[in-house]
Amino acid sequence: MKTDAQALPAKIGLIAATHEHQAIIANLLQLYAHDFSEFHEVDLGEDGRFTYHDLPLYWSEANRFPFLVTADGKLAGFVLVKETHGGEDQKSWDMAEFFVLRSHRRMGLGTDVAHRVWRLFPGPWQVRVMEANEAGRSFWERSIAAFTGLPVASERAKKDGHTWHIFSFVSSLPLVS
């Protein structure tokens, strides 16, 4: 049972990020990269900041979509979605990056946001999580199962010396407000 301190915020926002929001997402990426450095080697630049080279592409390429997440009107995280193409020109959506501030975790906000994103982009989806990130893997398993109503299985893949779990599913649900 959740306490008042753990209750879902009254209003959760998923806001399409404009170019003016790029600096905000860049700042949030510092927190995300710091969290992620527990599982994956992430180097600091000489300026003491983590670098995410692909961030500007979210405002210059048509197949990338940045979002800010808010809880009761305050920043709570970000989501970066991109469209990918597999074999035989098969299109799918990729949850490239997903971050919720620690103070908003374990209360349903992340699941709510993930479900909203999946409804915005119907079709095949892929969500990747490092095997070492047990909390992340558990979150994605629960969120995807709740969304699809089906048991969730992942494929394991090795890349750059790390094992990843890749979840694949299809979103055919329309956005419901």
Q: What is the pLDDT of residues 119-138, one digit of tens each?
A: 999 999 999 998 888 888 99
> What is the model's pTM?
0.87
Q: Are 152 and 144 in contact (CB under 8 A)?
A: yes
Please report, for residues 25, 50, 60, 173, the alpha-carbon distance to residue 37 in angstroms, rounded to integers and kept in the order given.
18, 10, 27, 34
Give the pLDDT of residue 3: 43
Mean pLDDT of the chain, nearest integer: 86
For 5, how many CA atoms within 13 A lie in the half-sphere containing its CB?
1
pLDDT tens-digit readout, 49-65: 777 889 999 999 999 99
- Supply the pLDDT for residue 40: 64
- Percentages helix, strand, coil for the chain, rounded to the nearest 5? 35, 35, 30
Report d(CA 7, CA 25) in Å as an integer: 25
> One-letter amino acid identity for 21?
H
- As beta bridge partners, residue 15 has 68
**Please, where are the H alpha helices in 38-128?**
109-120
Residue spans of beta strands (DSSP E) within 17-90: 64-71, 74-85
* Closest to 116 in 3D by CA, of 23, 1, 14: 14
Q: What is the pLDDT along the chain (177 residues), one digit of tens a residue?
A: 344 446 666 799 999 999 999 999 999 988 877 777 676 667 777 776 777 889 999 999 999 999 999 999 999 999 999 999 866 668 899 999 999 998 888 888 999 999 999 999 999 999 999 888 888 899 999 999 999 998 888 899 888 777 889 999 999 855 554
Is the CATH number 3.40.630.30 carried by domain 10-171? Answer: yes
Q: Which of 16, 22, 52 is nearest to 36 (CA)?
A: 52
